[in-house]
Structure 1
Amino acid sequence: MRLHGPLDCAFEDEASANLSLLPKESVDLAIGVMEVEGAGHIHQLDLIFSNEEFTDDKLCDGCMGLISTPFYNCTQCCFFLHCRCAQLPKKKRHQLHQHQLTLVSQVPYIGGLFSCDACGRLNCGFTYRCDTCTFDLDLRCCSISETLQHEGHQHSLFLSVNSAVNSSRRCHVCNCTYHKKPGIFVCISCDFSLGLEYATLPLVARHRYDDHLLKLTYIVEDRCEEYYCLICEEERDPKHWFYYCAECDFPVHPQCVLGKYSYVKFGRTFTSNYVHQHPLTFVPKTESSPLCDACGKTFDGMAVECTQCKFSVHFDNRCAKKIMKKAPSK
């Protein structure tokens, strides 16, 4: 799956307007600061203005969105960074959290993988973080405006952080409650409310089952008696948002298109002496892949792999403890 997000303009508001004149040295300096404070990138980065030499989809290591020019690339490894992500402010205050947040390029968790406290999505990109509260906002959620004009609703939406009020509301897209969310978008003209996990959905996405872009769709135009997702083949609620290809008449659940790991960069290698003595890699797995070497069960989309020990396991504590050994002390 590859996606195109609706929040590019929000990122650009954070960055300099004249990206084409940005010298390489200024971004090298910014990455150097991240290296000292948050395990950023250590190699020289080249400024790229054309996508011609990159024929397949690449993800930005900052926002985990599809890469677009201008961006920085490391020729020594598979590292890509939008210029706008390189220029984000180091410190930021956001309505979703009471403390000042700090931009870090990698959280202090295994593999740099974290769950955004606003939208709940797994992410291994940059985050705005509060170490005091172990609170993380991915770049998409942290860059969204407090006032939102969304094509899925006719009125302006406003970010509400009143937990007492929010807990009594239900999302009009999925009907879930918000009692554990730091904020939601509400409409003061009507009773409409929207969680950040839906407010930050990409307007278009791709899936291997369809050759065309799938458009985020809000209203069912036909009047069928039954509505199904053509990926999981289960029923859809016609009141809920969905992705759709009109040319192929291909309607699907958002979660079936995006999956659990849209913002995890497969192929990323990491080391942790507290987990395993060799480098480990996030790799994609399906139900038809060889079974987990720890529990013997199928995978749900992602595994952690050691090529030297030739094993693949689920990325959870139970499987990790069974097969991953702490590195020997020096």
Structure 2
Amino acid sequence: MDCAISRKKDSGAIFHMPIVSSDMFLGSILRTIEVKEGNSTKMLEKYHTDLSLVLMDDSTAQDLVCNACIRPINSPPYYTCGAHSQCNFLLHKFCVDLPLSIQDFLYTSVTKNLISPRLDEFFSLFRCCSCKKYCNGFGYVFGGSDSIFVDDVECSFAPRVIKHDSHKHHPLILTDTSSGIESWKSCCGKSCFYGYCCGLCNFTIHIDCARLPKTVAHKFDKHPLTLTFASSNSTDIDDICEFCEEDIDSKYWFYHCAQCDQSFHVKCIPSQGEFSKIKFGGSVKVPCHEDHPLTLARMMNLGSQRCGYCHEIIKGFKDGMALHCQDCDFWIHFYCGYRSCHGNISPPYKVYTL
């Protein structure tokens, strides 16, 4: 099969987790990939059609997010749009080298093709088959443009074998767990299509939980929060999440600050929540509010608002999306913005281009 990607024969790397940085981890994986010559040019031509992307070496820029993998750009070099100052289209240098097609990491006879959000459709997004998170970045699709089976960039390049501090005795192997495993008692208790399994023990963790960083930051605590694994002896509710003020079940992983004795659900960490693979900040004009553009906002750190379209409450301090007019403080649900533009129908999980 003439596929645009293959693992280097001599790589054979076993990645040790938890990771330190999501973008550094993805970059280290992609550097073990052999990419066909000229692939970078094809990427730039296909997904930013005015050919205005320029390579930047600015180490002072902050709060940059890659449009492909939806991960922070913490260091140069990276690509940015040089034609339009308001474009905000950015790519890691290693994401420019993403192959246009890959073989599935488990079913190697299956080819997956790179897709990106439609540039003319603000509401483009899909739900990743592997981690179940919503994403408006690039992805790899099984089959044609009408397929609902899409993996985001990060999940598409998940390593086959890892060693994880939560199970130090044996390596864990990436496995199709869509049948035979009802729950994920080792990490979060939820079901998942792919996971890392120990062939010798009854131990399995999510593909997404395996990638949780060793430490994270949260504005409610001045110290780094440390990933805390489930206690095999604990079956009770042991703590309260400082963010949502709901119970933390210590059978599952959470983040903790030992200095302040504060704990947080994984889902309450902005960089790890359900909408952590959405790039926020883009703007769109919708028919129900034609005077000003609306900006895509994340509700995780915002209070509740009243939707100007359906007049229901937009729940605040919950991980979700909404559209906000900064000029007149007008708010609508994300899906109400879609309905305003496309009629009174629910938005699709995917609107993208091959």
Alpha-carbon offset, residue 277 of structure 1: 11
* Cα gap change, 1:74 to 1:107, in 2 (>3 Å): closer
2:303 aligns to what?
288
Task: Report SS of the residue matched to 2:123.
Answer: helix
1:12 aligns to what?
31
Kindly provide the amino acid, as one letter, of the partner of residue 70 in structure 1.
P
| Aligned pairs for 1:1-330 within 5 A | 4-5=21-22, 6-14=25-33, 27=40, 29-34=42-47, 40=48, 42-52=50-60, 54=61, 56-68=62-74, 69-75=76-82, 76=85, 77-95=87-105, 99-106=110-117, 111-130=123-142, 131=145, 133-154=147-168, 155-161=170-176, 163-166=178-181, 168=182, 170-176=184-190, 178=191, 181-218=192-229, 226-258=238-270, 259-269=273-283, 281-285=295-299, 288-294=303-309, 295-299=311-315, 300=318, 301-305=320-324, 311-316=330-335, 320-321=338-339, 323-324=340-341
Alpha-carbon offset, residue 289 of structure 1: 4.8
Task: Report SS of the residue matched to 2:296.
Answer: strand
CA RMSD of aligned residues (A): 3.6
Determine which structure has the larger strand proportion and give its number: 2
Alpha-carbon offset, residue 8 of structure 1: 3.7
Post-superposition CA distance 1:56-111 (Å, at most 9, x none): 32111111111032211224222221111110111001135663111122269752
Moved more, 218-227 or 150-159: 218-227
Are the equivalent residues in 2 in contact too, given 1:15–1:85 (CA < 8 A)?
no
Kindly provide the amino acid, as one letter, of the partner of residue 139 in structure 1.
V
* Structure 1 gaps, min length 5: 17-21, 35-39
Are the equivalent residues in 2 in contact too, given 1:63–1:126 (CA < 8 A)?
yes
1:37 aligns to what?
none
Kindly provide the amino acid, as one letter, of the partner of residue 42 in structure 1.
D
* Structure 2 gaps, min length 5: 1-19, 344-354
Q: TM-score, normalised by structure 2?
A: 0.73
Post-superposition CA distance 1:200-258 (Å, at most 9, x none): 32333222212333232225699998322221222212221111233333321100113
How many residue pairs get aligned? The number is 303
Are the equivalent residues in 2 in contact too, given 1:96–1:183 (CA < 8 A)?
no
Determine which structure has the larger helix proportion and give its number: 1
Are the equivalent residues in 1 in contact too, given 2:297–2:324 (CA < 8 A)?
yes
Alpha-carbon offset, residue 310 of structure 1: 7.3
Q: TM-score, normalised by structure 1?
A: 0.77
